[in-house]
């Protein structure tokens, strides 16, 4: 009798499992999400570079003649600029400039990357050299100057602005030297 009862319970359990598992209808839930593209707010226009951590405004450009008494062996292109720290951490004006700006000039057969020259020692640039190596506090703004050695003072220089060292190119500016 126990065998028959056990066999009956096993059969009932088997039918129950088959009945529960016999439903082949798939239940799918479709979820759609709308992703808003965040406006990045990075750009280079009207001599102003805006990246996430800083804003750089080019104030002036000038060709400086070679002058060994001022440690200028070659003519230089001097650029004055100001940097506003838009981040939460201190940063330096020169670091932002070097990371985001590249200057080139066409040669006869090549496009030459200009190298950074000696910082102009002219007295008239003292307000730009005073804090250019100091850290800028978050929200602070400083003026700075940088110069590039020139082999040719006739051919225009192209400044390319990027979003950091290997970042996306944001724009360019042609600087006429004459």
CB-CB contact of 174 with 161 (8 Å): no
Distance CA 171, CA 50 (A): 11
CATH number of 43-175: 2.60.40.1240
Per-residue pLDDT of the chain (178 residues; tens, 9 = 90+): 444 444 445 444 454 444 555 555 444 444 344 333 344 699 999 999 999 999 999 999 999 999 988 889 999 999 999 999 999 999 999 999 999 999 999 999 999 999 999 999 899 999 999 888 899 999 999 999 999 999 899 999 999 999 998 889 999 999 999 8
Q: What is the pLDDT of residue 70?
A: 87
Q: What is the pLDDT of residue 125?
A: 94
CB-CB contact of 83 with 99 (8 Å): no
Q: What is the pLDDT of residue 40?
A: 66
- Please state the φ and ψ torsions of residue 124, each to the nearest 5 degrees: -65, -15
Q: Is 141 exposed, middle or buried (0-12, 13-18, 19+ CB in 10 A)?
A: middle
Quick one: which of 39, 89, 78 has its CA closest to 159? 78
**Pairing between β-strand 76-85 and β-strand 91-92 as defined by DSSP bridges:** unpaired
Distance CA 60, CA 94 (A): 16
Does the pTM surpass 0.95? The reply is no
Distance CA 88, CA 85 (A): 8
Q: Give bridge partners of residue 172 from the DSSP assignment.
A: 160
Q: What is the pLDDT of residue 109?
A: 95
Tokens (6 digits) for 85: 């720290």
């Amino acid at each position: 009798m126990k065998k028959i009862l056990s066999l009956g319970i096993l059969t009932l359990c088997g039918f129950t499992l088959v009945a529960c598992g016999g439903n082949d209808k798939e239940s799918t839930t479709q979820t759609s999400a709308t992703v808003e593209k965040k406006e990045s707010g990075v750009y280079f226009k009207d001599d102003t570079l805006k990246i996430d951590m800083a804003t750089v405004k080019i104030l002036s450009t000038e060709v400086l003649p070679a002058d060994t008494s001022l440690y200028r062996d070659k003519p230089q292109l001097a650029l004055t600029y100001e940097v506003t720290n838009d981040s939460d951490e201190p940063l330096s004006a020169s670091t932002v400039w070097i990371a985001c700006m590249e200057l080139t000039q066409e040669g006869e057969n090549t496009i030459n990357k200009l190298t950074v020259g000696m910082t102009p020692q002219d007295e008239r640039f003292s307000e730009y050299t005073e804090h250019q190596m100091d850290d800028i506090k978050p929200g602070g703004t400083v003026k700075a100057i940088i110069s590039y050695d020139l082999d040719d003072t006739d051919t225009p220089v192209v400044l390319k602005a990027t979003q950091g060292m290997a970042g996306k190119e944001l724009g360019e500016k042609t600087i006429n030297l004459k």
